[in-house]
């Protein structure tokens, strides 16, 4: 008995020393493997475009050039578009958090009579797709949302995937929380808003990240509904257009005779990398604020008793 206990303890000690080291090494290797291509992208974005065509750039630009960023950021339209993008991202994220968690809460209530019906209905939306044209006709013709700012908000207020993530999390919370609140006479809405919603912070931070990234990276809705209205263009749409234009001019229309004179300093390669950086930076800035919630964790023990 004492013998086994001893070996158990010994092995445990070995685990406690060896494991963190192995773990750290593994994670550092992983970091290197993921970081290299990212830094490579950044390096290329700061390289001269024509030179970058020759490839072989590592972690440092070979011929420095800010041309790609200049062409992206010198256009005054960029700032108007950035504003549209930021505002739509913020509004969409807030609306999503509220609506999604609200529905998730109701669908986590086992006693709710519509629970099964509504859950099935929501889940199926992830698997059925009516196709582009009917969706377009709905939003553009029936609801008349095209050429308006609302087309960025109204169709994207809710996401089923995030709702399920939230619901799973809420189901994992101690049932006693709801029970005791109910005994105190709280209604469902108050229970949701005052007890459940604050407890969901880690997963709300995750959902906020998912929604914000999705909304921020969206260009297709601008393309479909607002392409003809420059003041409603989003940043991603402008960037997408920049890239497409650079590509198209690299392909050079066979009849435009400018061929010999078109030595530009931008190429699709550098532009693409610069666009990646420009669109990722705002998210990287916001990220630590969200990360705090889902990396640090919370103390639930106190309410569990």
Partner 1 sequence: MSQMVQAKPKKRGGIGEFFSKLWSQKQLMLMSVPIAIYVFIFSYAPMWGWITAFMKYNPKNKNLFDNPWVGWDNFKWLFNRQEWLGVLRNTLAMSLINLVFGTVSAILLAVLLNEVVTKAFKRTVQTVTYLPHFLSLVIVVSMAQNIFASDGAVNQLLLSLHIIKEPVFWLGEGKYFWWLVGAINVWKEVGWNSIIYISTMTSIDPSLYEAASIDGAGRFQKILHVTLPGIKSTFVVLLIMNIGHLLEAGFEIQYLMGQNLVIDWSQTIDVFVMKYGISKMQYSVGVAAGMFKSVVSILLLFLANFIAKKLDEDTLI
Partner 2 sequence: MKKLLSVLLMLALVLALVPAAIAEEEPITVSVFVGNPREQPTPDNKIFKKIEDELGIKFEFEFLAGDLDETLAIKIAGEDYADLMDGGNSADTLINAGALINLMDYISEEKTPNIWTHIQPYLGRLLYDDGSLYIIPNFGRNYNAQIQNYCNGPAFWIQKQVLEWAGYPQVKTLNEYFDLIERFIAENPTNEDGNPYTGFEILCDDWRSFCLRNPVQHLVGRPNDGDVLVDINDNYRVEAFVIQPYAKPYYAKLNEEFHKGIINKDTFVQNYDQYIAKLSSGTVLGMFDQYWDFQSATDALVTAGMDKYTYIGLPLVYDPEYVDGKEIEEHYLNGAVINVNRGYGISVNCPYPERMVQLFETLLSDEWQTILEWGIEGEDYYVEDGRFLRTDEQKKNSQSQPWKNANTAYALMDGLPKKQGTRDDGNAWEPGNQPELYFDLMSDYDKDFLKAYGYKVPADFFNPPIELAPYGEAWQIDYVNEPDVSIAETDFVTTQMKYLPEIIMCDPAEIDGKWDEFVQAVEDIPISTFIDYMQEQVLKLVEKANGN
Contact characters 10-49, partner 1, x per CB under 8 A: -xx--xx--xx--xx-xx--xx-xxx-xx-xx--------
Question: Which one, 215 or 226, has the nearer CB to partner 2?
Answer: 226
- Work out the burial of residue 169: count CB atoms within 10 Å of its CB; fewer than 13 is exposed, 13-18 middle, 19 or more buried: buried
Residues within window 128-147 making contact with partner 2, judged by CB under 8 A:
132-133, 136-137, 140-141, 146
185 binds, among partner 1, partner 2, none (CB under 5 to 8 A by kind): none
Angstrom distance (rounded) from CA 145 to CA 222: 12
Among 170, 240, 273, 279, binds partner 2 (CB under 8 A): 240
Residues within window 146-205 making contact with partner 2, judged by CB under 8 A:
146
Contact characters 60-89, partner 2, x per CB under 8 A: -----------x--xxxx------------
Residue 244 near residue 121, CB atoms below 8 Å: no
Question: Which one, 55 or 288, has the nearer CB to partner 2?
Answer: 55
Among 84, 196, 203, 266, binds partner 1 (CB under 8 A): 203
Angstrom distance (rounded) from CA 67 to CA 265: 7
Question: Which one, 18 or 77, has the nearer CB to partner 2?
Answer: 77
Among 43, 98, 241, 280, binds partner 2 (CB under 8 A): 241
Angstrom distance (rounded) from CA 275 to CA 288: 22
Contacts of 265 (CB under 8 A, 6+ apart): 48, 49, 50, 65, 67
Contact characters 138-167, partner 1, x per CB under 8 A: x----------------x-xx-xx--xx--
Q: What are phi and psi of 64, to 5 degrees?
A: -60, 140
Residues within window 52-81 making contact with partner 1, judged by CB under 8 A:
55
Query: Which residue, among 128, 108, 267, has the nearest Cα to 199 in the 3D structure?
Result: 108
Residue 261 interacts with partner 2 (CB under 8 A): yes or no? yes
Residue 297: both structure tokens together: 């964790």
Question: Which one, 146 or 215, has the nearer CB to partner 2?
Answer: 146
Residues within window 245-284 making contact with partner 1, judged by CB under 8 A:
272-273, 275-276, 279-280, 283-284
* Residues of this chain that bind partner 2 (CB under 8 A): 50-51, 53-56, 71, 74-77, 132-133, 136-137, 140-141, 146, 219-220, 222-224, 227-228, 230, 237, 240-242, 244-245, 247-264, 266-269
């Amino acid at each position: 008995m004492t013998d086994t206990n001893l070996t158990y303890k010994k092995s445990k000690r070995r685990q406690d020393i060896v494991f963190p080291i192995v773990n750290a090494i593994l994670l550092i290797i992983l970091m290197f493997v993921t970081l290299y291509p990212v830094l490579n992208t950044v390096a290329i974005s700061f390289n001269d475009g024509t030179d970058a065509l020759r490839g072989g750039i590592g972690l440092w630009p070979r011929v420095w050039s800010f041309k790609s960023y200049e062409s992206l950021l010198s256009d005054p339209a960029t700032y108007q578009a950035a504003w549209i993008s930021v505002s739509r991202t913020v509004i969409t994220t807030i609306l999503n958090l509220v609506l999604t968690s609200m529905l998730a809460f109701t669908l986590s209530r086992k006693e709710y009579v519509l629970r099964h019906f509504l859950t099935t209905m929501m889940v199926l939306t992830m698997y059925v797709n009516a196709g582009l044209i009917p969706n377009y006709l709905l939003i553009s013709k029936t609801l008349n949302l095209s050429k308006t700012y609302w087309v960025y908000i109204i169709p994207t207020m809710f996401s089923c995937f995030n709702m399920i993530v939230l619901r799973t999390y809420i189901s994992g919370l101690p049932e006693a929380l709801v029970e005791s609140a109910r005994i105190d006479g709280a209604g469902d809405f108050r229970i949701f808003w005052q007890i459940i919603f604050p407890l969901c912070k880690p997963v709300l931070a995750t959902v906020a990240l998912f929604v914000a990234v999705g909304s921020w990276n969206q260009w297709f809705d601008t393309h479909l509904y607002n392409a003809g209205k420059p003041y409603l263009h989003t940043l991603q749409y402008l960037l997408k257009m920049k890239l497409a234009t650079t590509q198209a001019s690299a392909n050079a229309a066979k009849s435009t005779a400018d061929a010999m004179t078109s030595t530009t300093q931008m190429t699709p390669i550098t532009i693409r990398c610069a666009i990646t950086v420009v669109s990722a930076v705002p998210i990287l800035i916001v990220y630590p604020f969200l990360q705090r919630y889902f990396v640090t964790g919370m103390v639930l023990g106190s309410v569990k008793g």
